[in-house]
Amino acid sequence: MARLLITGGTGYLGQVLLRQARANGHTLAATCFSQEPPSGDGVVWVPLDVRDSRAVAETLDRLRPEIVIHTAFRQTGPDVLAITGEGAGHVAQAARAVGARLIHMSSDVIFDGERDAPYTEDDPPAPVSPYGEAKALAERLVAAAHPEAAIVRTSLIYGFDAVDRQTQFALDVASGRRAERLFVDELRCPVYVEDLAAALLELAALPYAGVLNLAGAERVSRHEIGTLMARAYGLDPAAIPAARSAESPVRRPRNCALDSSRARSLLRTRLRGLREVLRDLGRITE
């Protein structure tokens, strides 16, 4: 059992990591930023802005975690580079300084998505969005400050205890609350938050250093994800209009599928594909 610190403990992944890590018997600390953390959950909660390098260093020096899982980030806004990019560098420096194992969360959108084949760990980032650029900067800063860190590239994260952003968007479209279309040519390997959290906690106990893809086993388009989720929630999948990302006026990464075969040989935890998870949970029958 280890002393574990989750940055972004109030976030979607952070909350599931905390729940699973508590069940595994770890001693837990977590950081929050704008949200009020829950009370009485046995977690030492610390307000922290990862842009503040001194506060990051002091926090880790005080908590002395053995493992840090860095999930905190912002996807949009003027501070995306400072929070998502430089903030990750601050966490990596502080984790190295106190001798903590570091798992850094990265993303499939560090790629331009112009390939047909899934991306492996050896593929270099080629971002086409400010978020992708910030995540690519984060990877560089983390690798430089903490060479033993594991840099985990993952894909769209979904779950059912709390509905994730992507699924909520699709359900809003399927139920007519939003008039949008979902792309048939944007490919991802969505990962079930429970599988991802279990894989991260397993990885934290291993000496693996460098990039590791942790994404779901099935490659699906955003439109397919939306229609499957609509069915899982008893909505009409035919109500979701299709569009092509290639025709979008904004350049968006298309095929960001990740090859997670290395993780399959390294970890006991299985990262199931979307259809498999939905079948296992009894949400679709086919």
Query: What residues make contact with ligand NAP under the rule CB under 6 A?
Result: 8, 10-14, 31-35, 48-51, 71-74, 83, 87, 105, 107, 154-157
| CB-nearer residue toward ligand NAP: 46 or 174 | 46
The closest of 262, 62, 27, 29 to 150, measured between CA atoms, is 262
In this structure, what token pair is assigned to residue 250? 């904004």
How far is Cα 187 from Cα 194, in angstroms, rounded to an integer?
Answer: 21
Query: What is the DSSP-derived secondary structure letter of residue 38?
Result: P
| CB-nearer residue toward ligand NAP: 78 or 249 | 78
In this structure, what token pair is assigned to residue 233? 């929630």
Quote the least distance from Cβ 253 to ligand NAP, whole Å: 12
Quote the least distance from Cβ 144 to ligand NAP, whole Å: 18
How far is Cα 72 from Cα 92, in angstroms, rounded to an integer?
Answer: 12
Quote the least distance from Cβ 258 to ligand NAP, whole Å: 10
| CB-nearer residue toward ligand NAP: 173 or 215 | 215
Quote the least distance from Cβ 48 to ligand NAP, whole Å: 5
| CB-nearer residue toward ligand NAP: 174 or 196 | 196
Quote the least distance from Cβ 102 to ligand NAP, whole Å: 13
Measured from each CB, the residue nearest to ligand NAP is: 11
How far is Cα 189 from Cα 52, in angstroms, rounded to an integer?
Answer: 33
Query: What is the DSSP-derived secondary structure letter of residue 163?
Result: T
How far is Cα 55 from Cα 207, in angstroms, rounded to an integer?
Answer: 27
How do beta strands 242-243 and 101-107 pair? unpaired
Quote the least distance from Cβ 33 to ligand NAP, whole Å: 3
| CB-nearer residue toward ligand NAP: 34 or 265 | 34
Q: Which uninterrupted H or E stretch holds 135?
A: helix 130-145
Quote the least distance from Cβ 64 to ligand NAP, whole Å: 19
| CB-nearer residue toward ligand NAP: 74 or 115 | 74
265: left (phi over 0), alpha (psi -120 to 50) or beta: alpha
**C-alpha atoms less than 13 angstroms from C-alpha of 105 in its C-beta half-sphere:** 27
Quote the least distance from Cβ 59 to ligand NAP, whole Å: 10
| CB-nearer residue toward ligand NAP: 211 or 239 | 211
| CB-nearer residue toward ligand NAP: 172 or 236 | 172
Phi, psi (degrees; rounded to nearest 5) at 112: -80, -15
How far is Cα 211 from Cα 153, in angstroms, rounded to an integer?
Answer: 7
CA 243 to chain CA centroid, Å, is 25
